Structure 1
């Protein structure tokens, strides 16, 4: 009798925990950024464990100055460590860091070249409980350790919002 009662209680706790969670394992979607190296990017996020995740982005940013046009293509990967925000199911904040590689394509040498940067990141991630959608907002102030010739600055602020389908 005690075994049956213990199993019933354990099953109830397990079912409650499963239905209360709004976590996801992977997601894919878009990230809209404000930074130098990408204005829109494809975003893929996968959790390595309950708290740690990798986010991979591949993006571009078209530019135009009087007489010159160029495009910047980039790829970034960042690690994010998540912490739940207890009052709201599905809401987490995260901190981490990553690396970005970017290349500008132009017929003008002034506007082309390769750059490599490091960034800390922080933000919030929310997974809707009833639909397979996660949204997030983050900041990624990027310091370029390798920058293209004639770029005026090694520091580029970057903030973004993402919407991703979860599975």
Structure 2
């Protein structure tokens, strides 16, 4: 199921790639991505245009520091961007990341502590305003592995709202 979802996203992207209208994405965008994947919450998000084919790299860093657990999450996604009409774009991408967890509730009795790897897909829609503001809504399915904890090894959908300043 996991592989089918990523495969479908790439096939759809490849199908519409040549049919997309020409449009230009910003060289850089910096902002916040408000989601809830893996309990990390909001992430600082940076996007950088790559090449001349409306492709970009997105890097996100999230962290949480509270009485139950401390965590960080670093994600890198390569995205392909296509224009729908006017300022509306849709995008799809794939990448990977690291999740670090320090569970302070049970002194690591449940085995959550550690650093874990995950693979991620990304599909979303965005609106590029006439001012240097970009707003997006996306879903990022994440597939964790290399963990003794079954919860961290499973599929984790992450739906988020992004707001970024373009420069």
TM-score, with normalisation over the residues of structure 1? 0.76
Deviations 1:55-95 (A, max 9, x none): 0001024566xxxx102201000011011002xx1211011
Q: Please state if 1:44 is matched with 2:46.
A: yes
Large movers: runs of 4+ above 4 Å: none
Offset at 1:158? 0.8
Q: Rg larger in 1 or in 2?
A: 1
Contact 1:38 1:60 in 2 (8 A): yes
Equivalences for residues 51-62 of structure 1 within 5 A: 51-62=54-65
Offset at 1:23? 3.6
State the partner residue of 1:90.
87
Change (3 A) 1:92 1:162: same
Q: Please state if 1:139 is matched with 2:114.
A: no
Contact 2:92 2:123 in 1 (8 A): yes
- Give the paired residue count: 139
Distance 2:93 2:83 in 1: 15
State the partner residue of 1:74.
73
Change (3 A) 1:33 1:27: same
TM-score, with normalisation over the residues of structure 2? 0.76
Deviations 1:24-57 (A, max 9, x none): 2111011111211531111000111342110000
Contact 1:23 1:90 in 2 (8 A): no
Contact 1:126 1:134 in 2 (8 A): yes
Distance 1:145 1:71 in 2: 20
State the partner residue of 1:155.
155
Q: Please, which runs of 5 or more residues in structure 2 have no aligned partner?
A: 1-22
Match of 1:122, SS state, is: strand
Q: Please state if 1:26 is matched with 2:25.
A: no
Offset at 1:155? 1.5
Distance 2:25 2:70 in 1: 36
State the partner residue of 2:127.
126
